[in-house]
């Protein structure tokens, strides 16, 4: 079955300055049939990574150099035809027949084919390349000089083939190609799809189920990142002077993915309202000492806003809702997400206070403080970041007075609180006289999914929230 | 229906419009007494009189300029350039005045310039050109390139009806060689609507004018080898039917853009670029162009044959794409 003549497969010379190459993959296994010029193995050299075409048609009888091994140019790496199973030395391999021209397999003497390829590869300096000498009278092995493996080999995937492959989750390299150089044509891949070949492929990575998806960067920083998508191949050596490169952390990847997905999902609209915090400031002054002394808890402004929000949500179920498939899901509870910035800008996480509707001001203040501490000390467990129904973010700590946060999916709104500042404010007394007073004012925004929450509804929500804050009723919360 | 030559269909269309609309008149060199260099207007002067079939001096500037003025004043002039090549003398009137009048002043310029074009009969460099891409590049002008007798009539009537200056490229090599059924009544063929000359699945040829027939012969040859070729006849180069081209590309994923005009700056480049931009993800092979080389049209018959894309050139190009 083997062809009578053994033909050596050698590590080709890929340009004069290249002296060795690494075999990255054998495309055929021992015993497999191969056609002349059909890609036989893949190699990697200093200059290029390429496929090596078979020098002859026949059976691949021997693989002498395994994948991952690096050998000098000209080294015999395999053999087509011949006995194959004989000794390890290739020289013995050719049958004892009177074939006059077994290619000398010694490593010092380059194969004619190789030499020719080298001459082609760098004709400018032929002196360095031993030309095929006249002393080689025999017909060269049927091998054509290794054609420069450029162009449309099997590896080239045309745009339409790439698109169809993507649509069906097919690896084009698994599709038998009939185009030039074995290229997979549109017809090939369509036939493959039709024949059900796609099903034999590993299923494409399942899309993350929306409902189960943890909100925002759900992964606790310490837990092993939940299988980040394979990083896109970053071309090495593309850094420009002055640039610094750092890998993307799992958390940053999670944030990036979530932010993008949220903007792609919800119709983000932001409404803002100005709230007079005079009453809250004075209530807080009183409660602060009491809470600190009795419970060691600081009643923050955020806790007041959280309390008022949770109460207001009761009247606005859509602001505490979710669009789930074709349905709108509302709740009798509020799982309140609190956006927490991690130290040194390492990211953002949204731990969740469950059943916030059952907490008074003290409970909210304590809960927020505890969960933020857990987040910063990386002690959150997955449950702590899941199941949020409404989120509050407080970017006002640095003095910003307005923002447009991104909704934590699949929620329908996020409340933003901003810097509390003293501002001149027009007040009207009982007899209708206007005066300018100095008031501690805070801007509060509601960013909502306009698919579900109408602007008027958001406006009424903010109005009622302001009402609660400006006329804070119970000091007990 | 009557079977008419391509040339008779042009005459028929022109006669139909002149009978229907008194604003339509014909002006050109030898179009009157002599009936036109190619006899398109044979018998017209007898029927319509010397005031509507006007023999002009050898002055294309005057012919095109006169038509432009007449069109602005409400007439529907049809000018005949004896050969398309001679339009260069009328360039200024056509490009500077007629093409921009509507834009500058709001006045329509409903004129048609008939341009006997194309080679294939040793006409040499001054009588064989296909200058459609030069004018397709000028905003304000339309370019019509009929391939069949039926289209020749319908497109001419549409061109005369159109409120813009329209260049009507009639291919000389088709004049008496191509015959086909042509409805006797008046009809219009819309500008900007391509025609699928031949349906196929494997490779698309986008072409117009006489090359439709070259492509068709090539398609017949390849058909016997099992390669199914679709031929899209643009009919009009400006406006051109992008949707029809992209539809064919989406079907076959392999395209040959073919024209008789020279390659660089030829209108095929615009089509190829559009395909690359808008149908990139449908391509299974590079977009291929086949056109005349970038030289004047040679007079010598063997050289002219080498110059104008031949059936075997198209076969080779299509085969290459099919095997890609």
pLDDT in tens, B192-241: 999 999 999 999 999 999 999 999 999 999 999 999 999 999 999 999 99
Tell me the sheet residues that pair with B112.
B78, B166
- Ranges of H-type helices in A245-329: 250-265, 278-295, 301-313
Q: Which of A429, A450, A464, A471 is catalytic?
A: A450
The whole-number pLDDT of residue B117 equals 97
Check if A223 contacts B (Cβ < 8 Å): no
From the candidates B284, B320, B322, B324, which should be mutated to test the interface with A, based on the most A CB atoms within 10 A? B284
* Residues B193, B216: Cα–Cα separation, whole Å: 19
pLDDT band (50, 70, 90) for residue A159: very high
The whole-number pLDDT of residue A224 equals 43
Would you tell me the crossing angle of helices A455-470 and A278-295 to the nearest 10 degrees?
A: 60
The whole-number pLDDT of residue A257 equals 87
Check if A161 contacts B (Cβ < 8 Å): yes
Q: What's the whole-number mean pLDDT along residues B168-191?
A: 96
The whole-number pLDDT of residue B302 equals 95
- For residue A24, the distance in angstroms to the closest alpha carbon of chain B comes to 27
CA separation (Å) from A104 to A76, A199, A370, B208, B225? 10, 48, 78, 60, 45
Q: Which of A160, A180, A183 sits opposite B282 (nearest CB)?
A: A160
Decide if B80 contacts B11 (C-beta within 8 A).
no
Decide if A60 contacts A82 (C-beta within 8 A).
no
Say if residue A120's pLDDT is above 80: no
The whole-number pLDDT of residue A197 equals 67
How high is the mean pLDDT of chain B? Answer: 97
Check if B201 contacts A (Cβ < 8 Å): no
* Residues B311, B218: Cα–Cα separation, whole Å: 5
Question: What token pair was written down for B127?
Answer: 């009588």
Q: What's the whole-number mean pLDDT along residues B108-122?
A: 95
Q: Are strands A268-276 and A434-449 parallel, antiparallel or unpaired?
A: antiparallel
pTM value? 0.51
CA B281 centroid distance within chain: 31
Tell me the sheet residues that pair with B256.
B205, B288
The whole-number pLDDT of residue B99 equals 97
pLDDT band (50, 70, 90) for residue A218: very low
Say if residue B126's pLDDT is above 80: yes
The whole-number pLDDT of residue A109 equals 43
> Is residue B127 annotated as part of the catalytic site, yes or no?
yes
Residue found under tokens 């109408």: A454
pLDDT tens digits for range A233-259: 545 556 788 888 887 877 788 888 889
Whole-number percent of chain A with pLDDT over 70: 72
> What DSSP line would sit under B148-194, residue for residue?
SHHHHHHHHHHHHHSSS-EEEEEEGGGTTT-EEEE-SS-----TT--
Please state the ipTM of this predicted complex: 0.79
In three-state secondary structure terms, B3 is strand
Tell me the sheet residues that pair with A440.
A422
Helix (H) and strand (E) counts in chain B? 12, 14
* Residues B148, B142: Cα–Cα separation, whole Å: 19
Check if A185 contacts B (Cβ < 8 Å): yes
From the candidates A185, A188, A191, which should be mutated to test the interface with B, based on the most B CB atoms within 10 A? A185
Check if B277 contacts A (Cβ < 8 Å): no
pLDDT tens digits for range B75-98: 999 999 999 999 999 999 999 999
Could B283 and A183 be called an inter-chain contact, meaning their C-beta atoms sit closer than 8 Å?
no
Q: What's the whole-number mean pLDDT along residues A316-324?
A: 93
pLDDT tens digits for range A413-465: 999 999 999 999 998 988 999 999 999 999 999 999 999 999 999 999 999 99
The whole-number pLDDT of residue A21 equals 82
In three-state secondary structure terms, A52 is strand
How high is the mean pLDDT of chain A? Answer: 77
Q: Peptide bond preceding B239: is omega within 30 degrees of 0, i.e. cis?
A: yes
* Residues A241, B125: Cα–Cα separation, whole Å: 57
Say if residue A105's pLDDT is above 60: no
Q: What's the whole-number mean pLDDT along residues A59-73?
A: 87
Could A160 and B283 be called an inter-chain contact, meaning their C-beta atoms sit closer than 8 Å?
yes
As a dihedral over the C-alpha atoms of residue B179, residue B183, residue B187, residue B189, rounded to 10 degrees, the angle is -30
The more confident residue out of A312 and A82 is: A312
Least confident of A103-107, A324-328, A383-387, B129-133: A103-107
The more confident residue out of A253 and B65 is: B65
Say if residue A96's pLDDT is above 50: no
* Residues A101, B241: Cα–Cα separation, whole Å: 63
* Residues A343, A136: Cα–Cα separation, whole Å: 73
Say if residue B256's pLDDT is above 70: yes
Least confident of A74-88, A123-137, A145-159, B267-281: A123-137
The whole-number pLDDT of residue A200 equals 52
Decide if A403 contacts A445 (C-beta within 8 A).
yes
Instruction: Using alpha carbons only, give the angle A342, A347, A348 rounded to the nearest 5 degrees.
Output: 75
Say if residue A321's pLDDT is above 80: yes
Nearest alpha carbon to residue B189 among B156, B213, B163, B212:
B156
The more confident residue out of A118 and A369 is: A369
């Amino acid at each position: 079955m083997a062809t009578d003549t053994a033909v050596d497969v050698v590590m080709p010379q890929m340009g004069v300055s290249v002296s060795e190459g690494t075999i990255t993959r054998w495309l055929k296994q021992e015993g497999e049939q191969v056609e002349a010029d059909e890609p036989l193995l893949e190699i990697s050299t200093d200059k290029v990574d390429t496929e090596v075409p078979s020098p002859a048609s026949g059976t691949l009888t021997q693989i002498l150099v395994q994948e991952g091994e690096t050998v000098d140019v000209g080294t015999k790496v395999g053999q087509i035809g011949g006995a194959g199973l004989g000794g390890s030395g290739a020289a013995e391999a050719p049958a004892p027949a009177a074939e006059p021209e077994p290619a000398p397999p010694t490593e010092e003497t380059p194969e004619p084919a190789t030499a020719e390829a080298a001459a082609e590869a760098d004709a400018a300096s032929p002196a360095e390349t031993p030309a095929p000498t006249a002393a080689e009278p025999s017909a060269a092995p049927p091998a054509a000089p290794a054609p420069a493996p450029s162009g449309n080999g099997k590896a080239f995937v045309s745009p339409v083939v790439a698109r169809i492959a993507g649509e069906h989750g097919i690896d084009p390299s698994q599709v038998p190609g009939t185009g030039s150089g074995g290229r997979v044509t549109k017809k090939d891949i369509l036939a493959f799809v039709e024949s059900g070949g796609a099903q034999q492929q590993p299923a494409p990575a399942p899309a993350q189920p929306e409902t189960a998806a943890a909100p925002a960067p759900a992964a606790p920083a310490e837990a092993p990142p939940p299988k980040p998508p394979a990083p896109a191949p970053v071309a090495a050596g593309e850094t420009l002077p002055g640039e610094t490169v750092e890998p993307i952390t799992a958390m940053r990847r999670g944030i990036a993915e979530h932010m993008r997905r949220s903007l792609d999902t919800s119709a983000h609209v932001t409404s803002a309202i100005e709230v007079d915090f005079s009453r809250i400031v004075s209530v807080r002054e009183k409660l602060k000492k009491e809470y600190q002394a009795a419970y060691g808890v600081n009643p923050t402004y955020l806790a007041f806003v959280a309390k008022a929000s949770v109460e207001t949500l009761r009247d606005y179920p859509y602001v505490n809702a979710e669009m789930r498939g074709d349905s709108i899901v509302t709740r009798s509870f509020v799982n309140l997400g609190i956006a927490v910035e991690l130290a040194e800008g390492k990211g953002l996480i949204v731990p969740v206070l469950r059943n916030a509707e059952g907490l008074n001001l003290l409970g909210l203040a304590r809960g927020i403080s505890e969960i933020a501490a857990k987040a910063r000390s990386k002690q959150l467990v997955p449950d702590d970041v899941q199941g949020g129904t409404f989120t509050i973010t407080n970017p006002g700590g640095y003095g910003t007075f307005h923002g447009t946060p991104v909704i934590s999916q699949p929620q329908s709104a996020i409340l933003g609180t901003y810097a509390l500042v003293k501002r001149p404010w027009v007040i009207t007394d009982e007899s209708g006289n206007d005066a300018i007073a100095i008031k501690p004012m805070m801007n509060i925004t509601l960013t909502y999914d306009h698919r579900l929450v109408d602007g008027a509804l958001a406006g009424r929500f903010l109005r009622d929230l302001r009402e609660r804050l400006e006329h804070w009723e119970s000091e007990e919360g | 229906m009557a079977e008419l030559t391509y040339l008779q269909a042009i005459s028929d269309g022109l006669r139909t419009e002149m009978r229907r609309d008194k604003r339509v008149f014909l002006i050109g060199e030898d179009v009157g007494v002599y009936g036109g260099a190619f006899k398109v207007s044979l018998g017209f002067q007898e029927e319509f009189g010397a005031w509507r079939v006007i023999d002009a001096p050898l002055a294309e500037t005057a012919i095109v300029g006169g038509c432009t003025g007449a069109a602005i004043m409400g007439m529907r002039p049809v000018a005949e350039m004896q050969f398309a090549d001679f339009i260069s003398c009328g360039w200024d009137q056509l490009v500077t005045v007629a093409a921009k009048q509507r834009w500058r002043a709001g006045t329509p310029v409903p004129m048609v310039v008939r341009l006997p074009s194309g080679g294939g009969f040793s006409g040499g460099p001054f009588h064989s050109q296909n200058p459609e891409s030069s004018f397709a590049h000028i905003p304000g002008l339309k370019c019509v390139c009929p391939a069949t007798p039926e289209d020749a009539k319908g497109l001419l009537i549409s061109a005369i009806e159109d409120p813009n200056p329209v260049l009507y490229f009639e291919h000389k090599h088709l004049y008496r060689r191509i015959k086909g059924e042509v409805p006797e009544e008046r009809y219009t063929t819309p500008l900007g609507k391509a025609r699928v000359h031949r349906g196929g699945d494997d490779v698309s040829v986008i072409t117009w004018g006489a090359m439709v027939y070259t492509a068709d012969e090539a398609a017949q040859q390849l058909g016997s080898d099992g390669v199914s070729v679709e031929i899209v006849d643009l009919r009009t180069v400006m406006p051109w039917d992008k949707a029809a081209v992209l539809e064919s590309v989406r079907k076959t994923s392999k395209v040959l853009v073919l024209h008789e005009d020279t390659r660089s700056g030829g209108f095929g480049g615009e089509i190829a670029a559009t395909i690359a931009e808008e149908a990139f993800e449908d391509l299974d092979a590079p977009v291929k162009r086949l056109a005349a080389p970038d030289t004047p049209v040679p007079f010598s018959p063997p050289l002219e044959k080498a110059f104008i894309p031949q059936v075997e050139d198209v076969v080779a190009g299509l085969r290459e794409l099919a095997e890609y």
